Amino acid sequence: MNSLIRNDGQVLAALDPSGYADSVADHAGWAASRMRAPLALMHALDRNGTGSSRDLSGNLALDSREALLEQLATLDAERARLAQEQGRSLLEHAASQVRERFDLEADTRLRHGALVDNLLDAEEQVRLFVIGKRGEHADFAKGHLGSNLERVVRAVRRPVLVASRAFRPVQRFMIAFDGSATTRKCVDMVAASPLLKGLPGVLLAAGDAAAGMDDAAAQLREAGFAIETATVPGTADAVIAAQVAERGIDLLVMGAYGHSRIRQLIVGSTTTEVLRTCAIPVLLLR
Protein backbone atom coordinates (compact mmCIF):
# COMPACT_ATOMS: atom_id res chain seq x y z
CA MET A 1 0.00 0.00 0.00
CA ASN A 2 1.30 3.47 -0.82
CA SER A 3 2.45 5.47 2.20
CA LEU A 4 0.09 8.38 1.48
CA ILE A 5 -2.90 6.05 1.80
CA ARG A 6 -1.92 3.88 4.76
CA ASN A 7 -3.05 4.76 8.27
CA ASP A 8 0.30 4.49 10.06
CA GLY A 9 3.50 6.48 9.67
CA GLN A 10 4.35 10.11 10.18
CA VAL A 11 4.73 13.37 8.31
CA LEU A 12 8.41 14.35 8.43
CA ALA A 13 9.47 17.94 7.70
CA ALA A 14 13.08 18.82 6.82
CA LEU A 15 13.96 22.27 8.16
CA ASP A 16 16.91 24.56 7.58
CA PRO A 17 17.54 28.18 8.62
CA SER A 18 16.19 29.67 5.38
CA GLY A 19 13.24 31.87 4.52
CA TYR A 20 11.23 28.70 3.90
CA ALA A 21 11.43 27.33 7.45
CA ASP A 22 8.11 28.74 8.69
CA SER A 23 6.34 27.67 5.51
CA VAL A 24 7.73 24.12 5.70
CA ALA A 25 6.50 23.86 9.29
CA ASP A 26 3.04 25.16 8.32
CA HIS A 27 2.71 22.84 5.31
CA ALA A 28 3.79 19.89 7.46
CA GLY A 29 1.34 20.84 10.20
CA TRP A 30 -1.46 21.20 7.65
CA ALA A 31 -0.67 17.82 6.07
CA ALA A 32 -0.37 16.03 9.43
CA SER A 33 -3.69 17.44 10.62
CA ARG A 34 -5.43 16.45 7.37
CA MET A 35 -3.98 12.93 7.48
CA ARG A 36 -4.29 12.62 11.27
CA ALA A 37 -0.66 11.54 11.31
CA PRO A 38 2.13 12.12 13.84
CA LEU A 39 4.43 15.02 12.96
CA ALA A 40 8.22 15.03 13.13
CA LEU A 41 10.51 18.02 12.51
CA MET A 42 14.12 17.34 11.52
CA HIS A 43 17.19 19.52 11.08
CA ALA A 44 20.37 17.88 9.75
CA LEU A 45 23.81 19.25 10.58
CA ASP A 46 25.94 18.34 7.60
CA ARG A 47 29.45 17.47 8.74
CA ASN A 48 30.84 19.21 5.68
CA GLY A 49 29.40 22.44 6.97
CA THR A 50 30.55 22.25 10.58
CA GLY A 51 34.17 21.23 10.17
CA SER A 52 35.28 22.99 7.02
CA SER A 53 38.53 24.71 8.03
CA ARG A 54 41.33 23.94 5.59
CA ASP A 55 44.91 23.14 6.66
CA LEU A 56 46.61 26.47 6.04
CA SER A 57 49.78 25.54 7.89
CA GLY A 58 51.82 24.49 4.83
CA ASN A 59 55.16 26.27 5.10
CA LEU A 60 54.93 27.55 8.68
CA ALA A 61 57.50 26.71 11.30
CA LEU A 62 56.60 23.80 13.59
CA ASP A 63 55.62 25.96 16.58
CA SER A 64 53.55 28.33 14.45
CA ARG A 65 51.88 25.42 12.68
CA GLU A 66 50.88 23.73 15.93
CA ALA A 67 49.48 27.00 17.28
CA LEU A 68 47.50 27.59 14.08
CA LEU A 69 46.11 24.05 14.06
CA GLU A 70 45.02 24.47 17.66
CA GLN A 71 43.25 27.71 16.81
CA LEU A 72 41.54 26.10 13.82
CA ALA A 73 40.37 23.18 15.96
CA THR A 74 38.95 25.65 18.49
CA LEU A 75 37.15 27.52 15.73
CA ASP A 76 35.70 24.30 14.33
CA ALA A 77 34.46 23.25 17.76
CA GLU A 78 32.83 26.67 18.27
CA ARG A 79 31.28 26.55 14.81
CA ALA A 80 29.82 23.11 15.56
CA ARG A 81 28.48 24.30 18.91
CA LEU A 82 26.80 27.32 17.32
CA ALA A 83 25.32 25.17 14.54
CA GLN A 84 23.78 22.83 17.11
CA GLU A 85 22.42 25.77 19.08
CA GLN A 86 20.93 27.26 15.92
CA GLY A 87 19.41 23.89 15.00
CA ARG A 88 17.79 23.41 18.40
CA SER A 89 16.37 26.94 18.27
CA LEU A 90 15.01 26.33 14.76
CA LEU A 91 13.26 23.14 15.85
CA GLU A 92 11.85 24.68 19.02
CA HIS A 93 10.42 27.60 17.04
CA ALA A 94 8.82 25.28 14.47
CA ALA A 95 7.36 23.02 17.16
CA SER A 96 5.85 26.04 18.90
CA GLN A 97 4.43 27.25 15.58
CA VAL A 98 2.62 24.01 14.70
CA ARG A 99 1.37 23.70 18.28
CA GLU A 100 -0.18 27.17 18.08
CA ARG A 101 -1.54 26.98 14.52
CA PHE A 102 -2.58 23.33 14.22
CA ASP A 103 -2.82 22.14 17.83
CA LEU A 104 -0.18 19.48 17.13
CA GLU A 105 2.71 18.23 19.22
CA ALA A 106 5.76 17.56 17.05
CA ASP A 107 8.70 15.26 17.65
CA THR A 108 11.90 17.29 17.07
CA ARG A 109 15.10 15.69 15.78
CA LEU A 110 18.56 17.24 15.49
CA ARG A 111 20.68 14.95 13.35
CA HIS A 112 24.26 14.86 12.05
CA GLY A 113 25.19 14.01 8.48
CA ALA A 114 23.74 14.66 5.03
CA LEU A 115 20.02 15.43 4.85
CA VAL A 116 19.33 12.78 2.21
CA ASP A 117 20.98 10.07 4.32
CA ASN A 118 18.94 11.05 7.38
CA LEU A 119 15.68 11.03 5.43
CA LEU A 120 16.44 7.64 3.95
CA ASP A 121 17.19 6.29 7.45
CA ALA A 122 13.74 7.46 8.62
CA GLU A 123 11.80 6.53 5.47
CA GLU A 124 10.23 3.30 6.70
CA GLN A 125 8.28 5.24 9.35
CA VAL A 126 7.25 8.09 7.03
CA ARG A 127 4.05 8.64 5.05
CA LEU A 128 4.98 12.05 3.63
CA PHE A 129 8.13 14.17 3.49
CA VAL A 130 7.90 17.99 3.49
CA ILE A 131 10.81 20.12 2.24
CA GLY A 132 11.26 23.73 1.15
CA LYS A 133 11.60 24.63 -2.51
CA ARG A 134 14.80 26.49 -1.74
CA GLY A 135 17.29 26.23 1.10
CA GLU A 136 19.54 28.67 2.90
CA HIS A 137 22.17 28.72 0.11
CA ALA A 138 19.88 28.95 -2.93
CA ASP A 139 20.19 31.89 -5.32
CA PHE A 140 16.73 33.44 -5.07
CA ALA A 141 17.51 36.13 -7.64
CA LYS A 142 18.16 33.53 -10.37
CA GLY A 143 15.29 31.26 -9.34
CA HIS A 144 17.57 28.35 -8.49
CA LEU A 145 16.10 25.47 -6.53
CA GLY A 146 17.64 24.34 -3.25
CA SER A 147 20.70 22.10 -3.60
CA ASN A 148 19.05 19.34 -1.53
CA LEU A 149 15.62 19.36 -3.16
CA GLU A 150 16.28 17.35 -6.30
CA ARG A 151 18.60 14.97 -4.44
CA VAL A 152 15.87 14.26 -1.90
CA VAL A 153 13.12 13.80 -4.49
CA ARG A 154 15.25 11.42 -6.55
CA ALA A 155 16.43 9.41 -3.53
CA VAL A 156 13.30 8.80 -1.45
CA ARG A 157 10.36 6.58 -2.38
CA ARG A 158 7.76 8.34 -0.27
CA PRO A 159 5.65 11.27 -1.52
CA VAL A 160 7.28 14.68 -1.11
CA LEU A 161 5.39 17.91 -0.48
CA VAL A 162 7.54 20.79 -1.72
CA ALA A 163 6.56 23.88 0.27
CA SER A 164 6.26 27.28 -1.38
CA ARG A 165 7.72 30.44 0.17
CA ALA A 166 4.54 31.26 2.09
CA PHE A 167 1.79 28.99 3.38
CA ARG A 168 -1.88 29.51 2.60
CA PRO A 169 -4.71 27.09 3.32
CA VAL A 170 -5.26 24.70 0.42
CA GLN A 171 -8.75 25.14 -1.00
CA ARG A 172 -8.31 23.97 -4.58
CA PHE A 173 -5.84 21.53 -6.14
CA MET A 174 -4.75 20.45 -9.61
CA ILE A 175 -3.39 17.13 -10.87
CA ALA A 176 -1.03 17.36 -13.86
CA PHE A 177 -2.15 14.38 -15.96
CA ASP A 178 -0.26 12.89 -18.91
CA GLY A 179 -1.78 9.41 -19.17
CA SER A 180 1.36 7.69 -17.85
CA ALA A 181 1.40 4.96 -15.23
CA THR A 182 2.85 7.47 -12.77
CA THR A 183 0.02 9.99 -13.16
CA ARG A 184 -2.56 7.20 -12.95
CA LYS A 185 -0.99 6.27 -9.63
CA CYS A 186 -1.27 9.95 -8.63
CA VAL A 187 -5.01 9.73 -9.23
CA ASP A 188 -5.22 6.49 -7.23
CA MET A 189 -3.42 8.09 -4.27
CA VAL A 190 -5.43 11.31 -4.29
CA ALA A 191 -8.67 9.32 -4.49
CA ALA A 192 -7.75 7.11 -1.51
CA SER A 193 -5.86 9.52 0.76
CA PRO A 194 -7.44 11.87 3.34
CA LEU A 195 -4.94 14.62 2.43
CA LEU A 196 -7.14 16.39 -0.15
CA LYS A 197 -10.49 14.83 0.74
CA GLY A 198 -13.44 17.18 0.21
CA LEU A 199 -11.48 19.76 -1.80
CA PRO A 200 -12.41 20.67 -5.40
CA GLY A 201 -9.81 19.97 -8.05
CA VAL A 202 -8.82 20.15 -11.70
CA LEU A 203 -7.43 17.34 -13.83
CA LEU A 204 -5.17 19.02 -16.41
CA ALA A 205 -3.60 17.57 -19.56
CA ALA A 206 -1.20 19.47 -21.81
CA GLY A 207 -1.16 18.93 -25.56
CA ASP A 208 -2.27 15.46 -26.62
CA ALA A 209 -1.64 13.75 -23.24
CA ALA A 210 -5.31 13.30 -22.31
CA ALA A 211 -5.63 9.54 -22.89
CA GLY A 212 -7.41 8.01 -19.91
CA MET A 213 -8.46 11.35 -18.43
CA ASP A 214 -12.20 10.57 -18.46
CA ASP A 215 -11.64 7.38 -16.47
CA ALA A 216 -9.40 9.22 -14.01
CA ALA A 217 -11.99 11.96 -13.53
CA ALA A 218 -14.72 9.35 -12.98
CA GLN A 219 -12.57 7.62 -10.36
CA LEU A 220 -12.06 10.89 -8.46
CA ARG A 221 -15.75 11.80 -8.65
CA GLU A 222 -16.69 8.37 -7.37
CA ALA A 223 -14.37 9.02 -4.42
CA GLY A 224 -16.35 12.19 -3.64
CA PHE A 225 -14.23 14.87 -5.36
CA ALA A 226 -15.69 17.73 -7.37
CA ILE A 227 -13.39 17.49 -10.39
CA GLU A 228 -13.12 19.60 -13.54
CA THR A 229 -11.12 18.45 -16.55
CA ALA A 230 -9.10 20.61 -18.93
CA THR A 231 -6.97 19.86 -21.99
CA VAL A 232 -4.81 22.78 -23.07
CA PRO A 233 -2.45 22.88 -26.07
CA GLY A 234 1.21 23.58 -25.42
CA THR A 235 4.21 22.18 -23.57
CA ALA A 236 3.57 20.70 -20.15
CA ASP A 237 5.68 23.11 -18.09
CA ALA A 238 4.23 26.24 -19.73
CA VAL A 239 0.63 24.97 -19.64
CA ILE A 240 0.81 23.90 -16.00
CA ALA A 241 2.27 27.21 -14.80
CA ALA A 242 -0.30 29.24 -16.74
CA GLN A 243 -3.28 27.15 -15.62
CA VAL A 244 -2.19 27.22 -11.97
CA ALA A 245 -2.24 31.02 -12.07
CA GLU A 246 -5.41 31.33 -14.16
CA ARG A 247 -7.49 28.93 -12.06
CA GLY A 248 -6.33 30.05 -8.61
CA ILE A 249 -4.83 26.68 -7.69
CA ASP A 250 -3.38 26.31 -4.17
CA LEU A 251 -1.58 22.96 -4.58
CA LEU A 252 -0.29 21.04 -7.60
CA VAL A 253 -0.03 17.24 -7.71
CA MET A 254 2.32 15.67 -10.25
CA GLY A 255 4.67 12.75 -10.82
CA ALA A 256 8.19 12.98 -9.45
CA TYR A 257 11.42 12.37 -11.32
CA GLY A 258 11.88 8.76 -12.38
CA HIS A 259 14.66 6.69 -10.83
CA SER A 260 15.62 5.45 -14.30
CA ARG A 261 16.96 8.84 -15.43
CA ILE A 262 20.65 9.68 -15.52
CA ARG A 263 21.80 10.33 -11.96
CA GLN A 264 22.91 13.90 -12.60
CA LEU A 265 20.52 16.81 -12.13
CA ILE A 266 18.44 17.25 -15.27
CA VAL A 267 17.99 20.98 -15.72
CA GLY A 268 15.00 21.74 -17.91
CA SER A 269 12.97 18.62 -17.08
CA THR A 270 9.26 19.24 -16.65
CA THR A 271 9.37 18.63 -12.91
CA THR A 272 12.29 21.00 -12.37
CA GLU A 273 10.78 23.73 -14.52
CA VAL A 274 7.37 23.51 -12.83
CA LEU A 275 8.98 23.71 -9.39
CA ARG A 276 10.88 26.80 -10.50
CA THR A 277 7.95 28.65 -12.03
CA CYS A 278 4.93 27.74 -9.87
CA ALA A 279 4.67 29.78 -6.68
CA ILE A 280 2.50 27.18 -4.93
CA PRO A 281 3.30 23.94 -3.08
CA VAL A 282 3.81 20.86 -5.25
CA LEU A 283 3.02 17.32 -4.11
CA LEU A 284 5.35 14.93 -5.93
CA LEU A 285 4.19 11.31 -6.13
CA ARG A 286 5.61 8.14 -7.64
pLDDT at 245: 93
Q: pLDDT at residue 129 above 80?
A: yes
Mean of the per-residue pLDDT values of the chain: 85
The pLDDT-based confidence of 228 (bands split at 50, 70, 90) is very high
Nearest to 33 by CA among 105, 93, 96: 105
How big is the CA angle at 161 (ends 159 and 167), to the nearest 5 degrees?
Answer: 160
Q: Which CATH number describes the domain made up of 1-51+82-164?
A: 3.40.50.620
The pLDDT-based confidence of 3 (bands split at 50, 70, 90) is low
Q: Which of 118-122, 143-147, 210-214 comes out lowest in average pLDDT?
A: 143-147
Give the mean model confidence (pLDDT) for residues 134-156.
Answer: 68
Encode pLDDT of 200-209 as tens digits: 999 999 887 7
Query: Domain limits of the chain?
Result: 1-51+82-164, 52-81, 168-286
pLDDT at 83: 83
Coil, strand or helix at 251: strand
Highest mean pLDDT among 116-125, 228-237, 250-259: 116-125
pLDDT at 77: 79
* Equal CATH topology for 1-51+82-164 and 168-286: yes
Name the fold adopted by 168-286: Rossmann fold (3.40.50)
